[in-house]
Structure 1
């Protein structure tokens, strides 16, 4: 596993690490909380004597929610390991699954917002009229007494409570969706950088100079007190040694086969540079940690 240094962390990679780790921890915590509520669900069945059809539907809903949380936690941890190990396949898996989940939750948030926003709806009245909610009406009334100036009946308090909770939850879900969009854009940017790095590595391994004859080389930093005109830049061939010596990565145009001999004015350029590259590798470039030309 490669070491994670502060110099290798970019903004997209840092955001990808945060969103994947946070997603894995949050979904795991919610899955554990849901698993601990199974005993409460069984006790509710024994006390209230639900009809078998209603309780079976509640079981199915519980199982689907648990499956969703476990799958989301698994995908988030896979994405975290992919970002940590620079694995584009795992990062792509997280990006695709998170994008589909974002579309689904945003769609549900819009439906809930249209359902609960505005005056009391038929669905809210039907939920308050359910016999399973009747024992909670006094508690709802006591909770709302601090926020509603005029005293309300338990039924009115239930309807107001459900409407406000639904609207607040929908607004919070939409705000969360906007935040997730920005994090997914960072994940996608990091995935694109990993793809470019993989393609460059494959091209170098295959001996291909890349599109347009571009070749990546590594240059040592300019020593202090030495004029740039007196320095001949030498490429560093070992990637590990380049990292230790703080070499800069640059792109140059390689000589095409059968190209004419350089003129006398270009004789002072290194062999891996062409006349068009003159002036690109100066002291300001080589002093930087990483430059792409």
Structure 2
């Protein structure tokens, strides 16, 4: 019987240990997947403890249970003698039982409120990790093959120049949510081309030196123009052009 009762508690402690370890590691490394494991465990455990407390309180208010507990205590004379200093006897057993249940439920309620606040903090932290894009590197690696939507930030224009002018793309460092709000940037999504289509669009008859020269020239021109027209925070890879080389692609196809 002792082994049967200890098995569920051992499983519960093992699951709690794994979830806490994953959450601690995810918090240190800012890994949303690990933090999510601890968040899901915290929510499930909070629901389980809350339901257990409610069931315990409901069972203890039943008169049948109080009578059964007091009757069992009356059959333990040694235990009753030890509890005589606290004022407990057969006559006031049910009163003491009710007070004890109220005290236990009150303590459990305070603990549940504290755990609920902690779970909300973990959930908020997990949402912040998703918003700041701490797992963006993984998303980029997994999305390069099949393509998908990529989030960018549209920066407001710094002057009153006509909106019909050309739109300038400038490379900017990856922005966090706080930086984007400070710069009054607007979120937008663009289609991310696959790696295969991007490699096919590059000309094969140009040398690497001429391509690097034209790429650096376009980057310098874009950076100088971005101060007048605004920019888009669009992360690029090393060796990737900012604007597709349409003219060269047309010449090659012709």
The TM tier, using the shorter chain, reads 0.5 to 0.7
Following the alignment from structure 2 to structure 1, what is the Cα–Cα distance between the partners of residues 48 and 81? 35
1:170 matched residue in structure 2: 105
Q: Please report how far the alpha carbon of residue 75 of structure 1 lies from its aligned counterpart in structure 2 after TM superposition.
A: 1.8
Following the alignment from structure 1 to structure 2, what is the Cα–Cα distance between the partners of residues 203 and 68? 33
Following the alignment from structure 2 to structure 1, what is the Cα–Cα distance between the partners of residues 115 and 76? 34
Whether 1:269 and 2:209 are equivalent positions in the alignment is no
Q: Do the aligned partners of residues 60 and 160 (structure 1) sit closer, same or farther apart at CA in structure 2, a change above 3 Å counting?
A: farther
1:291 matched residue in structure 2: none
After TM superposition, list the pairs within 5 Å mapping 1:190-269 onto structure 2.
190-196=125-131, 197-198=133-134, 200-201=136-137, 206=144, 210-211=150-151, 214-215=152-153, 237=173, 248=179, 251=185, 269=228
Following the alignment from structure 2 to structure 1, what is the Cα–Cα distance between the partners of residues 12 and 70? 28
Across the aligned residues of Structure 1 and Structure 2, the Cα RMSD in angstroms comes to 4.2
85, 93, 97: which one aligns with 2:37: 93
Q: Please report how far the alpha carbon of residue 107 of structure 1 lies from its aligned counterpart in structure 2 after TM superposition.
A: 0.9
After TM superposition, list the pairs within 5 Å mapping 1:53-132 onto structure 2.
56=1, 58-117=2-61, 121-130=63-72
Query: 5+ residue gaps in structure 1?
Result: 1-55, 146-151, 218-227, 258-265, 275-293
Following the alignment from structure 2 to structure 1, what is the Cα–Cα distance between the partners of residues 187 and 101? 60
Q: Please report how far the alpha carbon of residue 253 of structure 1 lies from its aligned counterpart in structure 2 after TM superposition.
A: 7.0
Deviations 1:11-38 (A, max 9, x none): xxxxxxxxxxxxxxxxxxxxxxxxxxxx
Following the alignment from structure 2 to structure 1, what is the Cα–Cα distance between the partners of residues 14 and 226? 64
Q: If the length of structure 1 is used for normalisation, what is the TM-score?
A: 0.47
Structure exhibiting the larger radius of gyration computed from Cα positions: 2
2:82 matched residue in structure 1: 139
> Secondary structure of the equivalent of 1:129?
helix
Deviations 1:29-76 (A, max 9, x none): xxxxxxxxxxxxxxxxxxxxxxxxxxx2x5533443343234323322
Moved more, 102-111 or 175-184: 175-184
Q: Please report how far the alpha carbon of residue 106 of structure 1 lies from its aligned counterpart in structure 2 after TM superposition.
A: 0.6
Following the alignment from structure 1 to structure 2, what is the Cα–Cα distance between the partners of residues 202 and 93? 18
Q: Number of matched residues?
A: 178
Q: If the length of structure 2 is used for normalisation, what is the TM-score?
A: 0.54
Q: Which has the higher contact order (CA 8 A, sep 6+)?
A: 2
